[in-house]
Each structure stands twice: as C-alpha cells, then as structure tokens.
A and B are shown apart, each in its own frame.
Chain A
Amino acid sequence: MNIVYRALRILIKIYTDIRDRITPGWSQKNSSRIREWELMAYAFSKSKIGVLGGFMVFITVVLAIIGPIISWEPYWIYKTITDPKLMYLPPCLPPWCSGRPILGTDEWGRDIVAMSLYGFRISFVISIVVVFFGSVIGIVLGLVSGYKGGVVDEIIMRLTDIFMAFPSLILAIAFAAVLPSRIRGFLGENIWFRNILSTIFGLRPQEYPQLAALLSVWIAMVVVWWPGYTRIIRGTVLSVREHPFIEAAKLCGLSTWRILVKHILPNVLSPVIVMITFDMATATLFAASLSFLGLGPQEPVPELGYMISKAGRYFPERSLHVVAYLGLVLLFIALGWNLLGDALRDVLDPRTRRALEFREEKV
C-alpha cells in the first residue's frame, strides 16, 4: 500500500458513493469497472515517473486556478516609472535583503514570481482550450473518416494533408496578424463576452485588446491542431471497425451514429487521452513561442513567452534570472504533462496493466 494508491482509492470511493446516492445499486452493477479503475490507480501509483508527472501537473493546475487570486502584486502597475532602480533587481534571499522580491523583478519592477502566477493561468487556459477544440474536431472528423471510408475519407484525409503540409507556425502567424483587429471590434461591442474572457484568463476587462490577441492565438492554434487527432483516430478506427462486434452491433439495428459513439469511440479513446496529455505540453510551448514572436498579447499582460522575449533584450547581463526562472516554469509545465502522458500510456494499455497485475498478484 502506498500513499498515491490510497489517495486514488479514496477518490474512487467518493465517486462511487456519489453515483450510488444518485442511482442505488450503481456500484454493484459496475463492480467490474470499479475494479478496473482500482487496477489502473495501482498501476499508476507503481510508476515513479508517472507519480512525479502527476504531482507536477497537479501543482500546475492548482496554480493555474488560484494563481491570479493569490498573486500578491497587480500586473498593471509600472513601478519603474517612479523608481527606475527597481528594474531587473537580481534574486536575493531574505536574511540579506528583506522586503525585496526573492527571485528578482522584471522590466517594470514587478515580482517575477507573482507575474508567473498569472502566466500559469494564461498558458493553462490557452492550452486546454486549444487541445479541447482540436481534439473534438479531430475526433469527430477521424471517426467519420475512418468509419465511412470511400469518398468521405478521401476528402477529409486530403484536407488534413493540406493543413499538415502547411507550416503550422506560419499559418498561426498569418492568423495572429489578421485576426486581432476584428476580434477587438467584436469584444468592444460584446461586453459580456469580454467579461467572461477576462475572468477565465485572470486579467482585467480593460485589457480587451490583449484578450483579442490571446483569442487569436487560440483560433490560430486550433486551426493547426486538429489534423494530428484526425490522423490518429482514423487509423485506430480502421482497425477497430473490422472487429466482429461492429457487425454484431449492426445486426442489433443500431444506427451509424450510435455505433460510432457507443462501440467505436470508447475503443479508440485511450490513445487520444495519452495524446491529449502530451499535447497539453506542446500547446503550452507553442503558445509561448507565438507570443515570444510578438504575435500574442502585449503590455502589460504577464504571458510567459512574451515576458521572456522582453527580458531577452537585456539578456544575459541584467535579465538572466528572469529568463531562467520563466524558462524553468515552462519546463515544469511541459515536463509534468509529458511524464504524466508517458505513465498514462502504460496504465491505459490493458496488456501492460494486466502484466503488472500478474506480477504483483494484487488488487
């Protein structure tokens, strides 16, 4: 018994209790599924890398949710205008220089740790939305393409070929260059939408030109994101649809849609879940590189990529600590998701999981 396994068991218990409360007898009917979850939890807890990754992702997500709330410095105040000495203060530990930010300040004299808390939220929101929409579009197109075959398949696959052949960064640059002005107009008129956006990004509603830039990064990334999912789903569907249980489902008189949703989708989902975790890392880095190139939000939004690019002007004499710290933040996010994805790949594959079950003779 280890702590991670015990914690996951408690989570599963809470969930089954809730389901039991809603529909009595649920846990008895789904006892096999619950056992499967416990087995997964056990397999996951056995993977040290996975636990480390899960822990890093947990911290990332927690900071993304509460970061802007607990951040102790507002990002929209330009301290260096009144006090130029605050610019790029080096890191300093409390016994020697108390009252100063521990890890130093950026161009405007803001504490970079406080700023990175906003950055966690922004990059998390961007990556989760991009991955969500990208995977939904990709899954739907991939399912249809793989199952229908023929002309439909040809059209969808050639379309994904076109999007894949296009250099994604260039396409995103083109979108990011054209879209913001239009979105800005839209946001200026629709205050409710502006408010929602600013809340989820943890920014002030006044920042709506910056929100427009962030939104254009979203759109640009979703456009280049879905082809990968379509490819992977289509390939898996092609192998799953040959199984006799699909023919049996047809004989049961199910419609194509029901077969896709009930029989094919659950059987192609595990590679997608793994890909989603890996893509959370890639999307974070992609968004950071877009704003590093100046295509994302501008002053005073503390976006990680943009802050690194700004600090780059004084690199390395004055801003080494800023670049190093924010780079480490990005590394932390990306590494966490990658390690988690690596472990999930093993956990979600029934063969490796079963092997573990036999080896340990547990659960």
Chain B
Amino acid sequence: MSETLLRVENLKKYFRVRGSFTKKVRAVDDVSFEIFRGTTLGVVGESGCGKSTLGRTILRLIDPTSGRIIFDGRDVTKVKGKALREYWRNAQMVFQDPHTSLNPRMTIASILLEPIKSYRIYVEDEEKFLVEQLEMVGLGKEHLYRYPHELSGGQKQRVAILRAIIVKPKFVVLDEPTSALDVSVQAQILELLKNLQKIYNLTYMFISHDIAVVKYMSDAIAVMYLGKIVEIGDADTVFFNPLHPYTKYLLSAIPIPDPKMARDRKKVIIQGEPPSPINPPPGCRFHPRCPFAMDICRKEEPPKIEVEKNHIVACMLYAKK
C-alpha cells in the first residue's frame, strides 16, 4: 500500500461567537483521516458543514483549535515562519470562486510569476516557461498579459489551478473548484485536474457538495455532517454500499436520467434543515433528521465503527452488530 502523505488527528476548529464567551461554532469537530500519496480524498457534505473550514485549517490558513496535522512525516500543526512557508511550498489550494481568487489588478503573467519568485524557483526564460505551463492547462500565449476580467470563468479557474501547481506541490486542496462554473466547463476542469494528478503524482483533497462529482474524482470519500465525519471509506464502498443514513440520503438525491430506474430506487427522505453548529443536538448530531433514530441516538454520541476494512461509519445502527 502506498504511504501516507497527510494524516489529520482529532482536528478541531471552534470559532468564538461574537458577544459571547461560552458559545462556540464547532465548524470542524474531532476529524481524523489520512490521505495516501497520489490519491484523492473526496469530502462531501451540505453547505455550512465545515468542509471549506476543514480544508483551510489543514493548510493553516486558519489556526486549528486542537488536534494534529502531519504532512509528509512532519508535524505542521504549529509551524511558523520559514517552516510554514516550506509547508505551503508543498501544499496549495484552489478556491471555489475563480472570480475572486485572482487579483483583479494583476495580469495572468504576474499572478503566475508570484509563487515562482517567492519560492525562488529558477526559470531560464520566464515567458517561455509560462507559455508552456499555460498550454498545459489549455490556455495559450494570448492569455499571458490579460487581466482576469478578460477571461471566462473556466479560463480563470484554469489559471487558479495553474497557480497552485506551478511550484510542483505534493498536495492540493480543491475547494469546490467546479461549483461556480457551467456544467460543460465543470467536466473539462475535472478532466484537467485528473490529468495533472497523473502527470505530477499529486495528492488531492477534493471538497464538494456533489457526491457524484466526488465519486468521479476520488479514491476515498469522507462524508461530513455538521463538522464531523460520519462516514469514510473507499470511494466504491461508500458509493455502492453506503451505511450512514445521511450518506444514503445524499446518494438518493443524485438525479438519475432514466425515469424507470429513478422510480425503482429506494429513496431516503430526511426532513428539516441542518441544526445550528453553535448548539448541536446532543448525542448523534443527525438524530433530529434521521428516519432511523433510536432513543440511544439522542443521548450518546455514536462511536466510530470500522464495519469493514477501510470503511468507518459513526452511527448507532451498526454499534450492536
């Protein structure tokens, strides 16, 4: 088996609520997982469940409240200054909205040169190098001296992806890289990301709210609900044999183009909105919406149960078996 590139242990990020000393938003609550070198971990969950916060915390753009982040054998939870720069040299991020992730006052060339100059990567002929790189992500020389507002959303996202991988990092957090784009462009971008992963042996953490996209991209899937990972496992296992009711719900929400199949499929319907992460419900956080909720779910927090190899689920339904 391949080696672990990133290991996250009991990572927590609580945000203080304004005007209160005791109330806290538990954006990321006790999250642990590992990502193997050259693979993709997909993180799914509905909006506000802490997916993006998880990505940002792992990259140390937000400081974690507690827990450990071990990257490439080194603990980067508390590194500062030079060591943090060194970490960022190897761990980059692609943001959700390409319209705000590129500085509107800089040309594409200067945006792309920034990481190269900052990390002192030697390039013989800057312009030639940039054109080569741009061609790799499907852009060309004519885009080099444009401003971001002169490009389309998909082109901007290509630039953002290129900025992240131009320093040849080992690990890239993809924070919903396609959700701001047209469907036709989404497929191209996903394809591009897969190709780049093959070329540079990149490790991805792919964050999305679309479980179908995540399945397409990932080797492993983690399902998040209200700051916690409720199910994690190999992509195929989670996708074809979902155990947690929430995962089942997410999967039954995927549209199926064939109406016959859609009618036959078992649907899990859950009601209501996700509760506020400021005071999450006691016990299992999913119980107010769960169709299978038992008494014990209201009292005890479900343990993490390894149902089969590489398939962990946090649900009382599987505790007794």
Instruction: Mark A residues whose CB is within 8 Å of B.
Output: 28-33, 36, 243-245, 247-254, 262-263, 266-267, 350
Contacts and interface: CB of A to CB of B under 8 A. Distances in A.
A245 B100 CA distance: 6
B59 interface: yes
Interface stretch (B5-13, B20-28, B102-110, B201-209): B102-110
B219 interface: no
B103 A245 contact: yes
Interface string B87-116: 011011101110011111111010000110
Nearest to A252: B115
24 contacts: A30-B107, A32-B107, A32-B146, A33-B107, A243-B100, A243-B101, A245-B103, A248-B93, A248-B163, A249-B103, A249-B114, A250-B88, A251-B59, A251-B91, A251-B93, A251-B115, A251-B164, A252-B88, A252-B115, A252-B118, A252-B163, A263-B103, A267-B103, A350-B149
Given A243-B101, A251-B93, 13 more contacts: A28-B145, A31-B145, A32-B107, A32-B145, A36-B147, A243-B100, A244-B95, A244-B101, A245-B100, A249-B114, A251-B61, A253-B89, A267-B105
A247 B95 contact: yes
Contacts of A245: 100-103
A245 B101 CA distance: 4
Contacts of B160: 248
B145 A29 contact: yes
Contact of A253 (B61, B107, B118): B118
B145 A252 contact: no
Given A244-B95, A245-B103, A251 B88 contact: yes
Contacts of B96: 244
A247 to B, nearest CB: 5
Q: Which of A243, A245, A247 has the most chain B CB atoms inside 10 A of its CB? A: A245
Contacts of A252: 88, 114-115, 118-119, 163
A246 to B, nearest CB: 9
B56 interface: yes
Contacts of B146: 32
Contacts of B56: 247
A244 B100 contact: yes
A260 to B, nearest CB: 13
B95 A248 contact: yes
Contacts of A254: 114, 118
Nearest to B100: A243
Nearest to B94: A248
A244 B145 CA distance: 21
Interface in B56-106: 56, 59, 61, 85, 88-89, 91-93, 95-97, 100-106
B95 A32 contact: no
Contact of B115 (A244, A247, A253): A253
B114 A244 contact: no
Contacts of B236: none
Contact of B92 (A31, A36, A251): A251
Nearest to B167: A252
Contacts of A243: 100-101
Interface string B27-71: 000000000000000000000000000001001010000000000
Nearest to B169: A251
A266 B107 CA distance: 13
Contacts of B97: 244
A254 B97 CA distance: 21
B118 A250 contact: no
Q: Which of A245, A249, A251, A267 has the most chain B CB atoms inside 10 A of its CB? A: A251
Contacts of A251: 59, 61, 88, 91-93, 115, 164
B163 to A, nearest CB: 7
A174 B279 CA distance: 56
Contact of A266 (B101, B105, B164): B105
B301 interface: no
A281 B92 CA distance: 48
Q: Which of A29, A32, A250, A253 has the most chain B CB atoms inside 10 A of its CB? A: A253
Contacts of B59: 251
B300 interface: no
A350 B149 CA distance: 10
Contacts of B106: 262
